[in-house]
């Protein structure tokens, strides 16, 4: 069974600085999707970024980028120019490549990010 591990329960960053959140996963599949979701105090789950395992290029979305190391089964999230609004729980998630009956997400335990002014 696939598992997702986030080894940093809490992280802190100074406003305008850069922070990296770690995620490792375990799977025997060669094709899959990885996601980072953000959960602010409102509890809404917001998709931050998505990576397709068959693509070697790291995904980027504005200030958010990932470092995807397939051989190491590592998928870290880098937040540049951190803003106060980035403070939230961040969840790493894994999904098999096909939707339908195999499309459920498998989540890590989350990393709570604090941003200091």
Partner 1 sequence: DSGVTQTPKHLITATGQRVTLRCSPRSGDLSVYWYQQSLDQGLQFLIQYYNGEERAKGNILERFSAQQFPDLHSELNLSSLELGDSALYFCASSVASGRKETQYFGPGTRLLVL
- Which residues form the interface with partner 1 (CB under 8 A)? 37, 42-47, 50, 52, 91, 95, 97-110
Which lies closer to partner 1 via its Cβ, residue 4 or residue 19? Answer: 4
Distance of closest approach, residue 112 Cβ to partner 1, in angstroms: 13
- Gap between the Cα atoms of 4 and 113, Å rounded: 18
Question: Other CB atoms closer than 10 Å to residue 36's CB: what's the count?
Answer: 26
Distance of closest approach, residue 48 Cβ to partner 1, in angstroms: 12
Spatial CB neighbours of 113, under 8 Å, sequence gap ≥ 6: 10, 11, 12, 13, 19, 21, 79, 86, 87, 88, 89, 90
Which lies closer to partner 1 via its Cβ, residue 11 or residue 105? Answer: 105
Which lies closer to partner 1 via its Cβ, residue 80 or residue 97? Answer: 97
């Amino acid at each position: 069974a696939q598992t997702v591990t986030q080894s940093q329960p809490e992280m802190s960053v100074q406003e305008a600085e850069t922070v990296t959140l770690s995620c490792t996963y375990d799977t025997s599949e060669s094709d899959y999707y990885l996601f980072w979701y953000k959960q602010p105090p409102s509890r809404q789950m917001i998709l931050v970024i998505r990576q397709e395992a068959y693509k070697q290029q790291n995904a980027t979305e504005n200030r958010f980028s990932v470092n995807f190391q397939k051989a190491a089964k590592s998928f870290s999230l880098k937040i540049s120019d951190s803003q106060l609004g980035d403070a939230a729980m961040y969840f790493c998630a894994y999904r098999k490549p096909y939707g339908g009956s195999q499309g459920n997400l498998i989540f890590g335990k989350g990393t709570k990010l604090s941003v200091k002014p």
